[in-house]
Structure 1
Amino acid sequence: MLTEQDLPELFSYRSAYREPADFDVFWKDTLAEARARQEATLDLTPVATGLETVDVFDAVFPGFDGHPVRGWLRMPRRRSGPLPAVVQFHGYGSGRGAPIDDLLWASAGYAHLLVDARGQGGAWAGGGGTPDPVGSGPAHPGFLTRGIEDRTTYVYRRIFTDAVRAVEALRGRADLVDPVKVAVVGPSQGGGIALAVAGLVPGLAAAHFQAPFLCDIRQATRLTDAEPYAEIVGYLAARRNLVEQTFETLAYFDGLAFARRATAPAWFSAGLRDEVCPPVTAIAAYHAYAGPKQLRLWEFNGHDAGGPEDLATALSAFGALLKTSSRPPGVPSPAPAS
């Protein structure tokens, strides 16, 4: 098992990750380039679903280099004005799925934008609708090593930029959403993307990171042989002279650096039996997080990180923060890990 330490020892873990000196400059320039390319607009087309309480829209906005990125915007049918919003990012290999999937947040009274990760959506669940028009050099099968030879070509530079643009585009629809009450959420890869957005977008109202991927990446490759981190291991087994170059690239995309810059009230969770995203990597991100935060460790769960029970915690917490008449003030002092 990955959790041979007792809980106090596990919780005391601190990562050896060191961020690049020009991390902020790299991301400032990347986002400025995307913003200069095209305004962040959100185009919506109603979708006929047969649902009686939720409206669904095919959503399109310009992402990295102006490339069109798709998602679903779901909203409660009975609404009288701008709503608090939740922007969700999905797990590795999945996509936005079908229009009638993922009805939780809209059913709870939020505008819910579920965003594609470009180039994914062919592995499981309902699939995606966003291609990645950018190619890459030699890569291990999967997505994790595409363009990894350089920080400017790495696939997650495009995916993280798309995610930031999704929030900006949704905030621009003040006819539909309250721009100061926007939260980001996601499981696994989606949690890693949400964490990047939390570190890059100021003024978010809340965040939920469930078993976040892409945190403390080098340590994760030492602890697990499971996919997707095994893609990095396989790539470096074949390209063994590129080890340091590869981790120099990945340092610009590690969730710990984004966590240090994030200030929105946040809820983290991890399963102590998670062999996909080792729990110490979520703990490392939690400790690095600059804003108000809480962490729930699920002793007998794996990569589901508490599943619907954990989502229920986020649902309750978000209600207190996003469904008030004023700008969210934050959360109480963080609870101890449990």
Structure 2
Amino acid sequence: MRKIFILSVLFLFAIHAQAIKEKKDLVTIQITPDHYDWNYKVGEPAHFTISLFQDQQKLKNIKIGYEIGPEKMPPIQKDSVWLKDGSAVIKTPGMQHPGFLSCEVRVIIDGVLYRNLINIAYDCEKIQPTTLLPKDFRSFWEEQISRMREYPMKSEMTFIPDESDADVKVYRVKISHYARGNYLYGILCIPNREGRFPAVLRLPGAGVAKHTGDKELARRGVITFQIGIHGIPLDLKPETYIGLQSGALKDYMYYRMNDREKYYYNRVFLGCIRANDFITSLPQYDGKNLAAYGGSQGGALTLVTAALDPRVKFLAAFYPALCDIGGYAHNRAGGWFGAKELTPEEIQALAYYDVVNFARYIHIPGFYSWGYSDETCPPTSFYSAYNTIKAPKELYLLKETGHWRYLEQNAKVNQWLINELTGK
């Protein structure tokens, strides 16, 4: 059996976890499943109605091509059809096991290629992980955290007057990590008034970028600490991050992934715990209400932090990455997009970093949000983690969305965090 590890570099150059859908094509391809809720039972056939629109009017006598099959897998149907009256219905026998079925449509009009894809769910609540839990999973991470804490935490806070205002004080933060000369950097936002406040650890999507902090939640009475994961300052020139993105830190997610103690995400996961060490040391922190929050890579880090750190009482995650990494070896979609052959050593090491294994140890309330049509973090992968979580969970599902989110989702998660952290 081919053993495939899915982690794409493409997502580094796409809109990542904080993305908002803005682009609108001249021609819109509408794919409408025959179930209003996009949910089907295993073995149930499905029908897709395909229509093209321009200027709110249907386009007729246009030939489109389509492919249908389990997401990220070779198509089981591939053909073309004419939209003689502006629409056509495509029938498919569906799926014989829990998962997501993709319908992709392409059309060329006036030399321009247009494309759309949607996924429909087949008993998605029954999707289970393929990744196995190592027997020493908990003890391994307890040892890693203990090793980190052998090196004392020291922090430096630099006030940023240009970013601060009457409501929020903003600081650059530099924290000693787990070895001499190794640092964690972040942006701290504190409500500019007397009192003690709940806190949110903001975890970044993939890539190499400058972070500016979360002042919106801080204005509402919450300390926010947004961290970078690469051990580089967050006040460098933009071209520096671009250079690192395409140079020294290109493909960072592959670094030493055959060694469970030296894999790149080892220091990243530990950095999330160290960030909480810093938050809980602040005199302005209320001492009891701490949440983790992020999307994509940040969603993965959110679930990891919630599993490893009992100080975290709430979590909010959008379309988490790194879920069921080995899914492709079982002929189904796994976490992240792209493909790489895995060695036995890599398979063994990556089980300690697979989010589905952290999901087994989450016992706190969580807010989750995503869509069915995510091509970067396939829903088969993150449902394998979501279904493993037994703690209270609220899902805000917007089926059409992919690896992006609406402003309404941001407003929803912020209100959920405020309600949970303040008890309002």
1:65 and 2:179 are equivalent in the alignment = yes
How does the TM-score come out when normalised to structure 1?
0.80
- Counterparts in 2 of 1:157 and 1:259: CA distance versus 1, 3 Å: same
- Structure of greater relative contact order (alpha carbons < 8 Å, 6+ residues apart): 2
The 1:121/1:260 distance shift into structure 2, 3 A limit, reads: farther
Q: CA deviation at 1:87?
A: 0.4
- Assess, with a 3 A threshold, how the Cα gap between structure 1 residues 312 and 223 changes in structure 2: closer, same or farther: farther
- Which of 101, 114, 121 is the equivalent residue of 1:7? 121
The total of aligned residue pairs comes to: 300
Report the counterpart of residue 336 of structure 1 in structure 2: none
Read off the aligned partner of 1:146 and give its amino acid letter.
Answer: Y
Corresponding position of 1:308: 407
More strand per residue: 2
After TM superposition, the score normalised by the length of structure 2 is 0.65
- Counterpart AA for 1:161: L
Residue 278 of structure 1 corresponds to which residue in structure 2? 378
TM-superposition CA deviations, 1:28-60 (whole Å, max 9, x none) = 11000001121x344311012154232110112
Provide Cα deviations, 1:276-306, integer angstroms capped at 9, x if missing partner: 00012221111112421122332110012x3
> Which amino acid letter does the alignment assign opposite residue 254 of structure 2?
T
Structure with greater proportional helix content: 1
Question: Cα offset for 1:194?
Answer: 1.2
Structure 2 CA distance for partners of 1:56 and 1:295, relative to 1, 3 Å: same
SS of the counterpart of 1:320?
A: helix
User: 1:95-146 CA deviation, whole Å, 9 max, x = no partner?
Assistant: 442x4x5432212221110011115899xx96899xx9xxxxxx99511110
- Pairing partner for 1:265 from 338, 356, 365: 365
Tell me the equivalent position of 1:334.
none
Deviates more, 1:316-325 or 1:258-267: 316-325
- What corresponds to 1:76 in structure 2? 191
Name structure 1 gaps, 5 residues minimum. 133-138, 237-241, 326-338
Which residue of structure 1 aligns with residue 9 of structure 2? none
Q: Tell me if structure 2 keeps the 8 A contact 1:220–1:229.
A: no
Would you say 1:218 and 2:303 are equivalent positions? Answer: no
CA distance in 2: counterparts of 1:16 and 1:185, whole angstroms: 26
Residue pairs, 1:34-183, within 5 angstroms: 34-38=148-152, 40-49=153-162, 51-52=164-165, 53-65=167-179, 67-77=182-192, 79-97=193-211, 99=212, 102-118=214-230, 141-173=250-282, 175-183=283-291
Cα separation, 2, equivalents of 1:121 and 1:298? 36
Kindly provide the amino acid, as one letter, of the partner of residue 45 in structure 1. Answer: T
Aligned residue in 1 for 2:59: none
RMSD: 2.9
Measure the CA separation in 1 of the matches of 2:365 and 2:239.
31
The structure whose Rg is larger is 2
* Whole-angstrom CA distance in 2 between matches of 1:128 and 1:23: 37
- Aligned residue for 1:252, secondary structure, equals coil
**Cα distance in 2 for residues equivalent to 1:313 and 1:160:** 27
Measured in 2, the distance between the counterparts of 1:255 and 1:61 equals 26
Q: Distance in 2 between matches of 1:55 and 1:310?
A: 26
For the 8 Å contact 1:118–1:159, the answer to whether it is kept is: yes
Q: CA deviation at 1:7?
A: 3.2
Which blocks of at least 5 consecutive residues in structure 2 are unaligned? 1-67, 72-99, 102-118
